[in-house]
Amino acid sequence: MTRIVRTVAELREQVRAWKAAGEQVGLIPTMGALHDGHLSLVRLAQTKVKRTVASVFVNPKQFAPHEDFDAYPRGETRDAQLLESAGCDLLFAPNAAEMYPQGFSTTINLTGVSEPLEGAARPQFFGGVATVVTKLLIQAEPDIAVFGEKDYQQLQVIRRVTRDLDLPVEIVGAPTARAEDGLALSSRNAYLSTEERAAAVALPNAMKAAIAAVQAGERVETAEAAGKAALEAAGFRQVDYFDFRDADDLSRLGPDALPSGARPRLLAAAWLGKTRLIDNMGA
Amino acid sequence: MTRIVRTVAELREQVRAWKAAGEQVGLIPTMGALHDGHLSLVRLAQTKVKRTVASVFVNPKQFAPHEDFDAYPRGETRDAQLLESAGCDLLFAPNAAEMYPQGFSTTINLTGVSEPLEGAARPQFFGGVATVVTKLLIQAEPDIAVFGEKDYQQLQVIRRVTRDLDLPVEIVGAPTARAEDGLALSSRNAYLSTEERAAAVALPNAMKAAIAAVQAGERVETAEAAGKAALEAAGFRQVDYFDFRDADDLSRLGPDALPSGARPRLLAAAWLGKTRLIDNMGA
């Protein structure tokens, strides 16, 4: 069975033992509710290092009071079984008191890449993400850490904070795992009703159409407007953003046609009923 | 000679080589302009670990625009000679581009212990300190790091951020080194004129008198007021604070006589001409 540890001391002892034996270690930080997307991160790590550690921690600091912290899906037994099936060596599952002991008072804040998109929609989010991921990287001392491109802005924030704080770890981005119809896998997909799940495919479809349009020379703002209209027509009740951005620093592209040499990435967030879906694609 | 390195890569290579050879490493972060106080930190580290690394970096992020960043005393040759005389093994002297490369956008912020006293007088200060010290601890990967009690609130901030981020290092506080007349050693003492240097002794004397008074049962606010009056009478033009505080969380004590079981620390900051002096003592 995949071994489960709950304290930083146990985690560090195991990782240091592996490293002392010359085995490299990869960390896959998660909030649990694991699906094939997470398991693809474990498998990618296994191609690069000998030992893999998944962490499961639903981080209260990255949820605002009105968000879905209490409702966020949890199920450690199933998570542990899935990690076992993927050959993951260790599950680190701390409780909140282990991560944020009495008197905890430190926050890691970023400017720049953290500010637009998710940062604008969820002001507390990336401070919470940067703080907990930095802690996990310091706790586990891995050689590599794997994050899904599904949360693309988060990946860029983590790359930035890792570089800025000189953390001795390689950050690896993994391609987004998708259902057969193209919907990005997400723990929050569990919130969708049958009808909503059927409508959700409009999100990747609208994104593919917008990318094809700008690649054919369409103006960026025209493609973005068409994408938003397609989502609303498919039953999405609100589109938070549907933006072509620079793939590196997430600065805005457009409104005109893309110049040659641009490195566009299309990022979108939209609400289907009570569920907020996000996705992104290279263009 | 004490070897000088300027890059994180060289620093880490040397420290890892020592650790691989079973030698523990102590870091002494400084802003240069070294004096006997700094050397006492090196000597304390040498009683605990085999290898010592001093860093010299005048950190722009902990100075406000109107403060003395440009005037802050610098002199690497003399610093290196002093470290050599103390038997320090390595001097890490990065430039600003090595510490804060293009696009740097991360800040570590604390609430609580960072807020009163120096935090109130210098709003940017502890964010800058916490960020650079965290970077140095991650860069150097020392077993211990030694900081002077002279900057007592800074020491408490560093203890807090180290615990909060799970940095695998022991933070060691070292007693304040003092001149024969009792003035705490400080690089900023170099700013004092001969007359100001003579008057400066009023600071430790007023502190000792206030401590003696509260130990004899005097009310805290009476002892604090007497201390401020003594400083003003001695020629200090402004007293930023002269406060009895809890030694651990720096919460305010008084106004009445101290209860038994209190862990008081007296902290003071006051201006003599253009120079701001700080000091603190256990009580």
* CA A115 from centre of chain: 16
> What is the predicted pLDDT for the residue at B89?
98
Is B180 part of any domain?
A: no
The total number of structural domains in chain A stands at 2
Burial B222-248 (b: 16+ CB within 10 A, else e): bbbebbbebbeebebeebbbbbbbebe
Residues B112 and B74 in one domain: yes
Residues A64 and A197 in one domain: no
Residue from the list B8, B110, B138 with its beta carbon closest to the beta carbon of A106: B110
Residues B8 and B135 in one domain: yes
Residues A157 and A236 in one domain: no
Is A180 part of any domain?
A: no
Cβ-defined contact of B108 to A112 (cutoff 8 Å): no
Domain that holds residue A258: 187-282
Q: What is the domain-level CATH number for residue B103? A: 3.40.50.620
Question: What residues of A are in the B interface, CB distance below 8 Å?
Answer: 8, 12, 101, 103-114, 130, 134-135, 138-139, 141, 160-161, 163-168, 249
Residues B169 and B205 in one domain: no
Q: Residue A248 to residues A159, A253, A262, A265: CA-CA distances in angstroms?
A: 10, 12, 11, 9
A55 is in an annotated binding site: no
Cβ-defined contact of A163 to B107 (cutoff 8 Å): no
Q: What is the domain-level CATH number for residue A213? A: 3.30.1300.10
- Torsion, Cα B226 B227 B229 B232, to 10 degrees, reads 170
Tell me the residue type at B255: P
Judge whether B2 and B79 are in contact, CB under 8 Å. no
* Boundary of a domain, candidates B174, B200, B219: B174
* Boundary of a domain, candidates B174, B206, B221: B174
Is pLDDT of B1 > 80?
Answer: no
Judge whether A181 and B23 are in contact, CB under 8 Å. no
Residues B87 and B170 in one domain: yes
> B73-94 pLDDT, tens per residue?
889 999 999 999 999 999 999 9
Is B181 part of any domain?
A: no
> B242-262 pLDDT, tens per residue?
999 999 999 999 999 999 899
> A144-166 pLDDT, tens per residue?
999 999 999 999 999 999 999 99
Residues A54 and A161 in one domain: yes
Residues A234 and A104 in one domain: no
> What is the predicted pLDDT for the residue at A218?
97
Instruction: Provide the sign of the torsion angle of the four alpha carbons B99, B105, B110, B116, taken in this order.
Output: positive
Residues A105 and A27 in one domain: yes
Is A164 part of any domain?
A: yes
Residues A163 and A275 in one domain: no
Size of interface A-B (CB pairs under 8 A): 77
Is B182 part of any domain?
A: no
Residues B215 and B116 in one domain: no
Residue from the list B8, B101, B165 with its beta carbon closest to the beta carbon of A134: B165
> A215-248 pLDDT, tens per residue?
999 999 999 999 999 999 999 999 999 999 999 9
Is A179 part of any domain?
A: no
Is pLDDT of A114 > 90?
Answer: yes
Look up A66 and say whether it is catalytic. Answer: no
Relative to beta strand A170-174, strand A51-56 is unpaired
Is B147 part of any domain?
A: yes
> A25-61 pLDDT, tens per residue?
999 999 999 999 999 999 999 999 999 999 999 999 9
Cβ-defined contact of A166 to B135 (cutoff 8 Å): yes
Residues B61 and B93 in one domain: yes
Residue from the list A104, A141, A164 with its beta carbon closest to the beta carbon of B105: A164
